[in-house]
Amino acid sequence: MSGKTSADNDALLRQHGLQVTAQRLAVLRSVSGRPHSTADEIDKIVRAEIGAISRQAVYDALGILTDKGLIRRIQPARSPARYENRVGDNHHHLICRTCSRMVDVDCAIGETPCLTAADDSGYEIDEAEVVYWGRCPECVAATSVSSGDSQAKSL
């Protein structure tokens, strides 16, 4: 969805004061290609793509890219962290309790009203993490199909 070329990713790394390495480029590419992937999933994609890279190197690259703000780390309750390259717009997420699929959802009203806390206790707020939990359409459909099948054949 980002439509970013590898040259853009090169420039992005440099803009953030990072040395351009094959590892960082590969990690950045897989996060943009498969947003909301876990570190394990990214590790698999990167390894399939460039081969010789240690798991630690992938984790290190994820860490530094997150620290520098090129990618965003989402840490839903009771599940592994996910990474995405859509940063800086304070969007939120929908997560399916059944299959763990995560999708983006724009800020509820648009103007990041979620950053306007009812009582900010004097904090300078710059981010709100909102996660909507539920079931995705596929999982809802799958349940209604199997429950509609009342004459279930037991083997």
Q: How far is the CB of 131 from Zn ion (least distance, A)?
A: 10
Between β-strands 82-84 and 72-74, what pairing exists: parallel, antiparallel or unpaired?
antiparallel
The pair of three-digit structure tokens given for residue 55, joined into one six-digit string: 């798991």
Q: How far is the CB of 22 from Zn ion (least distance, A)?
A: 26
Number of residues that bind Zn ion (CB under 5 A): 8
3-7: long-range contacts, CB 8 A cutoff, minimum separation 24:
4/32
Question: 35 to 94, contacts with Zn ion by CB under 5 A?
Answer: 84
Q: What's phi and psi for 123, nearest 5 deg?
A: -75, 150
- String marking each residue 83-102 x if it binds Zn ion according to CB under 5 A: -x-----------x-xx-x-
Q: How far is the CB of 31 from Zn ion (least distance, A)?
A: 11
Only segment of 14-22, 26-34, 131-139, 144-152 that touches Zn ion (CB under 5 A): 131-139
Q: How far is the CB of 122 from Zn ion (least distance, A)?
A: 29
Question: 104 to 123, contacts with Zn ion by CB under 5 A?
Answer: 104
Q: What's phi and psi for 86, nearest 5 deg?
A: -85, 100
Q: In terms of CB distance, is 8 or 89 closer to Zn ion?
A: 89
105-112: long-range contacts, CB 8 A cutoff, minimum separation 24:
105/132
Binding of Zn ion by 139 (CB under 5 A): yes
**DSSP letters of 9-51?**
HHHHHHHTT----HHHHHHHHHHHHSTTEEHHHHHHHHHHHH-
List interacting residues with Zn ion (CB under 5 A).
84, 96, 98-99, 101, 104, 136, 139
